[in-house]
Each structure stands twice: as structure tokens, then as C-alpha cells.
Amino acid sequence: MPEEAIKITNLKKDFRINESHPGFLGSVRNLFSRKHKIKHALDGISLEIKKGDFVGYVGENGAGKSTTIKILTGILVPTSGEARVNGLVPHENRIKNAKRIGVVFGQRTQLWWDLPVRESFDLLQAIYEAPEPAFQRNLEYLGEVLGLKDLLSVPVRKLSLGQRMRCDIAASLLHEPEILFLDEPTIGLDLLAKDSIRKFLKKINAEKQTTILLTTHDMEDIDYLCERIVILDEGKIIFDGLRDDLKRYYGRTRVVEVEFREENPPLRFENGVQIVREENRKKWISFDREKHNASEVITYIVNHAPVKDIFLHEPRVADIVKTIYEKVS
């Protein structure tokens, strides 16, 4: 059995939020008394992640994703419960934990703004006390697979967002961490940059067995990269399982996209099979896979109208997650 890279047990994190009295008199009252409320960012979650797993950690803004990452990296101290990373309690072993993990926050950089990329990498080598042979080996490998050769002499402030993100990911991996935490690593990137980063993350997970915990709002990241998905809502886990199981249990609706050879083909659907979108000679036809077999729907279509092209769409993770949130809200 693979070892546990991350183990979270009944983890809670509360924040005390001050509330101000309104108006001028209220501002005077604030000098002497303040109201406050308690925000439960994490409400007793438990989670185990094995070494080599690639897990998608999904939730709306305020669900508790970033709070979890900050506890696992030692930035925050939990209110109660326990979190262990490679057997260490992060906030009690910040330095030792930091040397065994890598972290990428999509909206922040760990590189020095005015320095060339290579000098930032050299500083990180010193900070992490990475041995020279291993550092050079990792720099060569990461430079090749992430295409950094022409960027090493460029000041960080002159990099595009996609270039900076590739450099940030490399920076987080130069010291060979066992676990990589990614918080919105593809935010704001164009399609080519996203594709490049996704392929790289899949590669290091497969080849180096790097454990990766990914938080993102881009469900295409999750669909492409993660076999396991954990969905968080208001500090609680509402789903933890395989991506395919998520689609099987919640993704009952499938859609057949059909391009016909003529306008308005004579089709009559019933029992929940329906046209949900039309565009010229194209129609999108949805059905419940619990009630109808895909082959019978497609057979009916091709037997009753001249078809030029036909395509069966599998349920998207983004749509399924939206459905789950609608059910729990």
C-alpha cells in the first residue's frame, strides 16, 4: 500500500471577524466596543492523500480551499483537529516541512521581480540548501521540459504571465519536493500556456511520482489532470471520489450533437429526450442515460433523418459540480 503523503483529521479553522457599527456615532462606539462573528472556514474535514496521487480540490470562493493549503504549508495554525504532511505537523515543523514541499500560488510569485530568472533560482537553491549536483540536474530537466532556456537571463518583470508561471512552477520543484501544492496555477493564461503547463504537471506526476494537490476554478484543469476529486462547500467535504465515479453518479445527462444534411428533419422525441439547442443544421439532443441507451438514441436519429456528422458528448466536470452545488444550496 502507498504511504500517506497528507493526512487530515477533523480539521477546523475559525476566523474572528470584527463588525463595525455604522455611521459617525457608530465609528465612535467602535473605539470602545466592537461586535464580532466567527467564520468557520474549515468545519471538521478529514482527508487522506497517498504518495503519487494527483487530487483536484474544488470549491467556490470562500469554500476553504486556500485555508487548507495554508494549513498544510504551515502558514496557518488550525483551530482544532490535525494535519500531517509527510508525517510532519506543518505549523510545528515549518522549515523541515518547507524543504519537502513545493507551492505555487497563481496570483503571486516567489521570484524576485527585478532579478533575472536564473538568479532567483540560485537564491532558492541557497534558501532550500539544495545540493549542487541535484540542483543542476533538476534545473536542466525543468529547463528542457518547460522551455526555460531563453528565459533564464530575463528579469522576472519582463516575463509574460505564461512565462512567469512556467518559471514559478520550476522554482517550486528545483529542490525535488515530494508534494506540490498548486493554487490556481493556470489563472489568466491563454490556451497554449494552459496546455503546456497541464502536460508538464501530468508528466512529473507520472514520471517522478510527485504528489499534487490542485485547487482551481478551471474545471478543464481538473478534467484533464485529476483522477480523484474532492469538492468542498462552506468548509465541509461534500464529495470525495474518482472523477469517473463523479460523472457516473451525478452526470446522468448526455448530449448528442448532430449535423443534418437538411433543415428541420422530421424527428419526434419523447420520454425526456429533447432538443436543447439549435444552430442552422446542427442540433444538440439531450437524454438521461438512466432511462435511455446512447446507441438507441443515435440509432433513432440516423434512421429518421439524413445525418452528416454526429458526436456524443460526455458530461463535463464543470456542469456536474454546478449540479451538486445546486442540490446542497
Sequence-separated (6 or more) residues with CB below 8 Å from residue 265: 304, 305, 306
3-state secondary structure of 78: coil
Q: Could you write out the DSSP letters of every residue in 18-68? A: EEPPPHHHHHHHHTT--EEEEEEEEEEEEEEEETT-EEEEEE-TTSSHHHH
CA distance 12 to 235: 8
pLDDT at 290: 80
**Structural domains in the chain plus CATH codes:** 4-248 (3.40.50.300), 252-328 (3.30.70)
pLDDT in tens, 155-205: 999 999 889 999 999 999 999 999 999 988 888 788 888 888 999 999 999
CA distance 254 to 264: 22
Extract the residue ranges of the chain whose pLDDT is less than 70: 1-2, 19, 21, 23-34, 326-329
C-alpha cell at 1: 500500500
CA distance 11 to 84: 11
Q: Which helix (H) or strand (E) holds 224?
A: helix 219-225
pTM exceeding 0.75: yes
Which of 9, 70, 15 minimizes the C-alpha distance to 44? 9
Sequence-separated (6 or more) residues with CB below 8 Å from residue 23: none
